[in-house]
């Protein structure tokens, strides 16, 4: 049970969380944690509604980074072929198909360290075209400079995804080709431009329990909380340094991270992201109970499998969950500050 002083802070939008406070929240009895997370969730969102996004890999393979979990790194032999940039019309067609199935946002990902001059204008066209369909747009392109951020802003980009992946202390054990601060710098540029940030992490890469708490602390203490916080369960890929990590993370530990994220960031969408194939329907139901209210919808997440959309429809029906249709009235700590 939490001490009275900390319990009074549950549900508040704060940017000064201590590691000790976060550990106390995450480590309390499971039922208490879930009750608090659900209470915070209901105070800020429709408890039976989930936002759905579809992820499209607009350019796969050949990335120069050495992220130890990634099938798209050119440093590992994962059997993935490097592909050219997807045509704008193909992206539009995929967006229309996703919209027809209920997705409200199209997330487009390219395997880059940072965008190149040749392909960046094509990406800007993709953003404009998808926006024209009445969908929200999200991109993940690696690191950005200020000029690129401004061009994305002018094109109407709604969200930029740039995950921190893990704690600052554990980060060098996973990635060496860019620093933790590099990622924070890109997030800062995006937020200053007025673009919503989507940033989360990966659970199950060999990090300690305290690293998960530290990762959440980094997000929770940002000047503006990320509008969307995807929590991924590692999907080990053959040929990567982390291929041996399958089944190393207890599902209850994963759910605790979801619930703690909900409590620390009351107005953010917490996305149950990659790794759902590793979770039972019952474990996913507990994630939704713990405050997850966003998913990727479709059978593929870049290069990893995702539950088929029909399976999600059946699961949502069992749980009485509806797909969110309109995101125009988004709540965020930026608007409430």
Q: Which one of 14, 42, 63, 276 is the catalytic residue?
A: 63
Complete DSSP assignment for 166-210: S-TTTGGGT--SS-HHHHHHHHHHHHHTTPEEE--EEE-SS--HH
Buried residues in 185-205 as b, exposed as e (16+ CB within 10 A): bbbebbbebebbbbbbbbbbb
Alpha carbons within 13 angstroms on the beta-carbon side of residue 91 total 31
List the catalytic residue out of 70, 178, 183, 262: 70
Q: List the catalytic residue out of 183, 256, 262, 271.
A: 271
63 tagged catalytic: yes
**What is the rounded CA–CA span in Å between residue 158 and residue 69?**
27
Catalytically annotated residue among 23, 42, 67, 327: 67
212 annotated as ligand-binding: no
Q: Is 67 annotated as a binding residue?
A: yes
Consult the annotation and say whether 287 binds a ligand. Answer: no
The reply to whether 63 sits in an annotated binding site is yes
User: Of the listed 107, 178, 217, 287, which one is catalytic?
Assistant: 107
Tokens 């429809």 belong to residue:
313
Catalytic residue, candidates 105, 178, 183, 198: 198
List 138, 178, 183, 256, catalytic entry: 138
Q: Please, which residues have CB within 8 angstroms of residue 234's CB and are 6 or more apart in sequence? A: 69, 202, 203, 204, 205, 242, 245, 248, 249, 274, 275
287 is catalytic: no
- Which residues make up each annotated binding site? 63, 67, 70, 107, 138, 198, 271
- Which residues make up each annotated binding site for [4Fe-4S] cluster? 63, 67, 70
- Which residues make up each annotated binding site for [2Fe-2S] cluster? 107, 138, 198, 271
Positions annotated as catalytic residues are 63, 67, 70, 107, 138, 198, 271
């Amino acid at each position: 049970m939490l001490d009275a002083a900390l319990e009074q802070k549950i549900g508040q939008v704060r940017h000064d969380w201590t590691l000790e406070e976060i550990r106390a929240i995450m480590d309390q009895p499971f039922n208490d944690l879930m009750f608090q997370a659900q209470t915070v969730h209901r105070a800020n969102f429709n408890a039976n509604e989930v936002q759905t996004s579809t992820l499209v890999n607009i350019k796969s393979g050949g990335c120069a980074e050495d992220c130890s979990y990634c099938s798209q790194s050119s440093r590992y032999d994962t059997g993935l072929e490097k592909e050219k940039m997807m045509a704008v019309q193909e992206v539009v067609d995929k967006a229309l198909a996703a919209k027809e199935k209920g997705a409200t946002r199209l997330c487009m990902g390219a395997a880059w360290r940072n965008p190149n001059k040749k392909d960046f204008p094509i990406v800007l066209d993709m953003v404009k075209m998808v926006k024209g369909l009445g969908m929200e747009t999200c991109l993940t392109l690696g690191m950005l400079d200020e000029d690129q951020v401004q061009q994305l802003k002018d094109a109407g980009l709604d969200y930029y995804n740039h995950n921190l992946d893990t704690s600052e202390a554990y980060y060098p054990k996973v990635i060496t080709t860019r620093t933790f601060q590099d990622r924070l710098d890109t997030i800062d540029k995006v937020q200053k431009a007025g673009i919503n940030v989507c940033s989360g992490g990966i659970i199950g890469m060999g990090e300690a329990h305290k690293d998960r708490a530290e990762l959440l602390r980094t997000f929770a203490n940002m000047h503006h909380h990320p509008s969307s916080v995807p929590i991924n369960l590692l999907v080990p890929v053959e040929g990567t340094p982390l291929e041996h990590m399958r089944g190393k993370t207890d599902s209850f530990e994963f759910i605790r991270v979801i619930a703690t994220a909900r409590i620390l960031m009351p107005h953010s969408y917490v996305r149950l992201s990659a790794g759902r194939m590793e979770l039972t329907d019952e474990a996913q139901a507990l994630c939704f109970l713990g405050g997850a209210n966003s998913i990727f919808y479709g059978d593929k997440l870049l290069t990893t499998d995702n539950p088929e959309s029909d399976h999600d429809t059946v699961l949502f029906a069992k749980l009485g969950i509806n797909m969110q249709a309109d995101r125009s009235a988004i709540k965020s700590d930026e608007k409430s500050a």
